[in-house]
Structure 1
């Protein structure tokens, strides 16, 4: 019996996976029956090794223990079968989320943020070191943030540390405590408790971060370029766009590249909006700089010419740019210059988001989109002939790999049993009031999207919005 099974598995999954399956499925020495699993998922389209195949997934102790062809009949305590219009994909990994708790929980909070993540098929987030109070710039602050998560996590959560002037001695202790890396700003962050650093201060931090084996992620806009740009204020989006020109990003990214090349640090450019920087990024990599780059759904799904006067729900920094720039970012993704897509979920209260009565210079800059990332990107990608397999790679496998989440972002034997059940052809209209994040504010309200997340599994168990089952993650743990 074992040999024919191995042949069928090899035909569907490849020899390597077949070997794993043969070892895992085996037979009970006493009964001749397959070993039982905690849960089995059955689907006609399961994403394994970059392709959709008919498969059964056997789960044991929160991990994937077997992948076999559909029809094998794995025994389990619980069996779930996907509907004909559904696919099974790995849970998404979002490495750029502002939860804002403690200190600004009225903006978001762990419970609402992680419920929103789960509703969007995101099973792992990494929380940014601001806008919480205190920011995560010391071990004491990290301890306070971790304490605030108690009983509130509906998905798994890790943490970034922060680099600000004067906290260089906290880098090594924060690495020892399991942060996934460090964030810095090259211009004012928008909150006083997280001040920005100069390029020289960034280089000092890079050396210590490299020595500690960690990575630096940078909000790359140059404050001097922005200071010299026109700041008219008011409701015109094009006036706001002129106040955050391409040159501000391009100049700051050049500084990150120069200092990363000098120090050998692993560096990462956050929320790329300027496609003008794609060439220098590609050239830096060709020269051996350890540099990765992300972009976000709002830069790939929205464009400046479509933003109405006073529509401050669209404000973010760096800004949503021209339609031609959006198209160039998609080319950068397809060409591999941009590594992955994350949300930069940065909500605030409606009072802050609409402050100034439509004045873009006054309103808070941040987009709330954690729950909507997959359908937003899939809607745009399918219109460009890009496969869902590629979208999932950009939103799951690649961010997980870059930050060292070795068991996340893929459906493979030994990986975490984190999944999203996705209906790629289903259509829905965004209703801001129905989203799980704390405030009904999003630029996508009323937008028709393709692709619905039907359910989410964390460590092999369906996520229940009334039962917090997420875990705190530590790097290298």
Structure 2
């Protein structure tokens, strides 16, 4: 049977870090790009250049831009167990609506979490028949699953995430330095990576009114500390409860573990990645690690680049996330670090929940769930805030694909790659 070949063209196509005219031919059967002309074929499908490839459909989309589909490597799809927060069907539809063609699902907040091969299989069963975009999976690092790490690697998880602070859900416990060192030893020779929610409480700080989680998730512990019992609706109090030192102390610990790992006999350690970096005070630590040739990378999120603490009203718990959104000077510093390559990627950390858990009526930052739902919003957010399409392609397509080991078939427009193509109109405004 003859393969179905389709073609799409624009004067503005992102190829090899350039914006050029191009016509892209792709197979509707395999989903792969089969041919690229670096010019726009003006004629119809009867054009000899297209006819020889038996092109069935051809569309020119100028002045819109054709770019690779975004790869969001930090998304929480909470199925099974908390599908009312977000499930595979709704989460992947939200992704595809904003040009995200691949998401990598975090090991929490589903029940059970993706910490064993058995639990991963439950995830796969839950996802079957529900996906609107491609989905990969991260495994989890929890105190009792060291023996599960290698089986999860062999099953295809893209890497592992752990917490150095309470995760917000009781079924995904935090880990310590001893665990990290053991995990590094186990995974040293594997094609994988270790990722960390890099916040760590000062043990001298007092935890204020820690709510306890129950079987219905009505009151989930979010781990804020500090001494601001009297004003839980005040955003500045919440911000003070998770200071910059939470992030810098955690990253110092990770660097120490990496340095100790390098001193061992073979000197091999797996790459380490800091998820959702929010504090600019951590940037010198990351730069110093780069100078020392440690394989440490960091991402930040759309909300840290687009929002500032000064503009968050009291009781506006829809802005709550962990680490918290910091001040305007911090926001500008994150942009600078991103443009200089200190931060390598931008992701959503899409973490929705029910309206009740977000506490809209109460406005209590210390009890509300910490998470922002933004998986389909990153492309317009970054573009509106001044990033170029070439920069967005680097941060959200190429670098995230490389992070998850998909760089040979996703993240760019090239022959043989997946035809994950996004048509973006930079001239259209949308109010929502």
Bin the TM-score by the shorter chain.
0.7 to 0.9
Structure-2 separation of matches of 1:325 and 1:288? 26
Q: Residue in 2 aligned with 1:51?
A: 18
Gaps of 5+ in 1: 1-34, 431-477
1:89 to 67, 71, 91: 67
Q: How does 1:3-14 map to 2 (within 5 A)?
A: none
| Mapping of residues 44-443 of structure 1, within 5 Å | 44-60=11-27, 61-68=30-37, 69-71=39-41, 73-75=49-51, 76-224=54-202, 227-228=205-206, 230-233=226-229, 234-263=232-261, 264-354=269-359, 357-380=362-385, 382=386, 386-405=387-406, 406-430=408-432
TM-score by structure 2 length?
A: 0.88
The residue matched to 2:425 in structure 1 has which SS? strand
In 1, the alpha carbon distance for the partners of 2:360 and 2:50 equals: 57
Question: How many residues were matched structurally?
Answer: 392
Distance 1:335 1:122 in 2: 24
Q: CA deviation at 1:226?
A: 8.6
- After superposing the two structures, state which structure 1 stretch, 222-231 or 282-291, moved more: 222-231
Distance of 2:321 and 2:203 partners within structure 1:
17
What is the alpha-carbon distance in structure 2 between the residues aligned to residue 427 and residue 231 of structure 1?
44
1:391, distance to aligned residue in structure 2 (A): 1.4
Q: Is the 8 A contact 1:231 1:240 kept in 2?
A: no
Shift of 1:37: 5.9
Task: Indicate the larger mover: 167-176 or 197-206.
Answer: 197-206
Deviation per residue, 1:394-450 (Å, 9 max, x gap): 0111110122102000001111100111001211112xxxxxxxxxxxxxxxxxxxx
Matched residue SS, 1:74: helix
- Are 1:138 and 1:170, in contact at CA under 8 Å, matched by a contact in 2? yes
After TM superposition, the structure 1 stretch with the greater mean CA deviation from structure 2, 321-330 or 52-61, is 52-61
Q: Is contact 2:97–2:376 with CA below 8 Å preserved after alignment?
A: yes
The two structures have a TM-score, normalised by structure 1, of 0.80
**Alpha-carbon separation, structure 2, partners of 1:257 and 1:426:** 44
Q: Contact 2:13–2:66 at 8 Å: present in 1 too?
A: yes
1:66 to 1:404, Cα distance in 2 relative to 1, 3 A: same
Secondary structure of 2:202's counterpart equals: helix
Q: Is the contact made by 2:318 and 2:358 (CA closer than 8 Å) also made in structure 1?
A: yes
Task: Say whether the 8 Å CA contact 1:312–1:354 is kept in structure 2.
Answer: yes
Shift of 1:81: 2.3
SS at match of 1:53: strand
Shift of 1:219: 0.3
What is the distance in 1 between the residues matched to 2:16 and 2:334? 26
Q: Offset of 1:225 from its aligned partner?
A: 5.9
**After TM superposition, where is structure 1 displaced by more than 4 Å over at least 4 residues in a row?**
none
Q: Do the aligned residues in 2 keep the contact of 1:37 with 1:58 (CA within 8 Å)?
A: no
Q: Post-superposition shift, 1:64? A: 0.9
Larger deviation: 210-219 or 391-400?
210-219
Cα distance in 2 between the residues matched to 1:227 and 1:80: 63
Tell me how far 1:208 sits from its aligned partner. 1.2
RMSD between superposed Cα atoms in Å: 1.6
Gaps of 5+ in 2: 43-48, 207-224, 262-268
